[in-house]
């Protein structure tokens, strides 16, 4: 990218991720000149006291744009399918948070703490991984470099905001309605007239269904953890199995991650390695009730790791508990970090 003092940036999408992208750009003092917001229709939005004029997206709107951040919508075909190549043809570099280009062999899939050098391989489009993948590989990469990893078994506990603003609103409404009945029943009733963004009730409930049905009765979200990790870490020999679960949390994904390393690593050594790793904070004092929790990770940039312990029955087996803000490190922040490396 041609070196400049200021870069013209656009954010495509004015939902929860798009708003966090705007916040990240300002908070991190990104050297933007023009900062524009594109979406389906014209309107004004206010973010932290700053008013943005949202413009209806058109191919011509990308003229003069240096970096286009596409907020994306998990599980759906994003605006990038229609407009990414239009933006590239007009001179922009696209950083896409959606799923559409992640497994394209010509598109780098990047987590800067892991594979920032892949950014150099871009041909106009760089992909942001799935939120659950991002936080997992940030935690695993320092261990992988030290001892190798041959197996990963992960269960994710994913917040409602991972499915967008409508899912958060569903959680809020369901929680309010149930609480107003004095907890006589934790079932949401038809007469509650709650618009559902999720296939199941969110409040006072968990369900193991994120994404569509895919190969071998796994969901598409579960396969993302496998295939994206292989691509980012440049190692498709790692055996990865995942279960993804939606939980009644507003923001902040948690993951129970089991790994087997090739070389032995004591838990204290793992804590030391992770404590020195970029973008990682270790919180692991069970006796003092200190461990990562989504309520504490919300609005934080880092990936938090705790409950680091060995498997007493399997040689080189280790458990980790990994928590991060899915809207920040899992989406908006990671995209802005890619843009920073790009410069």
Of the candidates 167, 168, 206, the residue with the CA atom closest to the CA atom of residue 186: 206
Q: Count of CB atoms within 10 A of residue 33's CB?
A: 12
- 9 Cβ contact list (under 8 Å, min separation 6): 25, 30, 32, 34, 35, 36, 65, 66, 67, 68, 69, 339
The residue whose two tokens read 């190692």 is 235
Ordered DSSP codes for 111-124: -HHHHGGGGGG-SS
Are residues 41 and 190 in contact, defined by beta-carbon separation less than 8 angstroms? no
- 178 Cβ contact list (under 8 Å, min separation 6): 185, 186, 187, 188, 203, 204
Q: Exposed (0-12), middle (13-18) or buried (19+): which is 239, by Cβ within 10 Å?
A: exposed
Q: Give kind and range of the element (H or E) at residue 31.
A: none
The residue whose two tokens read 């062999």 is 105
Are residues 158 and 250 in contact, defined by beta-carbon separation less than 8 angstroms? no
Starting at the edge strand that comes first in sequence, how are the strands of the sheet with 93-96 ordered?
Answer: 43-47, 50-56, 32-39, 7-12, 67-70, 93-96, 125-127
Are residues 320 and 303 in contact, defined by beta-carbon separation less than 8 angstroms? no
Q: Which residue numbers are catalytic?
A: 131, 253
Handedness of CA 135, 254, 172, 206 (dihedral sign): positive
């Amino acid at each position: 990218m041609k070196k400049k003092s200021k870069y013209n940036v656009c954010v495509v999408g004015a939902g929860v991720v798009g708003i966090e992208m705007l916040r990240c750009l300002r908070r991190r003092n990104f050297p933007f000149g023009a900062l524009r917001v594109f979406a389906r229709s014209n309107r004004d939005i206010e973010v932290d006291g700053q008013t943005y004029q949202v413009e209806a997206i058109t191919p011509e709107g990308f003229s003069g744009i240096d970096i286009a951040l596409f907020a994306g919508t998990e599980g759906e075909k994003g605006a990038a399918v229609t407009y990414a190549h239009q933006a590239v043809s007009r001179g922009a570099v696209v950083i896409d948070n959606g799923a559409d280009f992640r497994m394209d062999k010509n598109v780098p899939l990047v987590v800067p703490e892991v594979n920032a050098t892949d950014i150099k391989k871009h041909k106009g489009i760089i992909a942001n991984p799935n939120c659950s993948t991002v936080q997992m590989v940030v935690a695993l990469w320092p261990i992988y470099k030290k001892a190798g990893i041959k197996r990963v078994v992960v269960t994710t506990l994913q917040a409602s905001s991972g499915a967008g603003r409508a899912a958060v609103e569903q959680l809020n409404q369901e929680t309010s309605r149930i609480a107003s009945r004095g907890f006589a029943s934790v079932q949401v009733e038809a007469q509650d007239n709650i618009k559902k963004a999720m296939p199941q009730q969110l409040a006072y409930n968990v369900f193991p269904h994120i994404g569509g049905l895919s190969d071998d009765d796994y969901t598409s979200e579960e396969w993302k953890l496998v295939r994206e990790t292989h691509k980012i870490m440049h190692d498709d020999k790692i055996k990865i199995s995942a279960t993804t679960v939606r939980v009644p949390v507003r923001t902040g994904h948690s993951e129970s991650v089991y790994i087997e390393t090739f070389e032995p690593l004591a838990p204290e050594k793992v804590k030391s390695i992770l404590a020195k790793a970029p973008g990682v904070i270790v919180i692991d004092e069970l006796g003092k009730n200190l461990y990562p929790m989504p309520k504490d990770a919300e609005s934080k940039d880092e990936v938090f790791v705790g409950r680091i312990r060995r498997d007493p029955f399997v040689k080189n087996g280790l458990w980790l508990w990994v928590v991060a803000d899915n809207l920040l490190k899992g989406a908006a922040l990671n995209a802005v970090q890619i843009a920073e490396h790009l410069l």
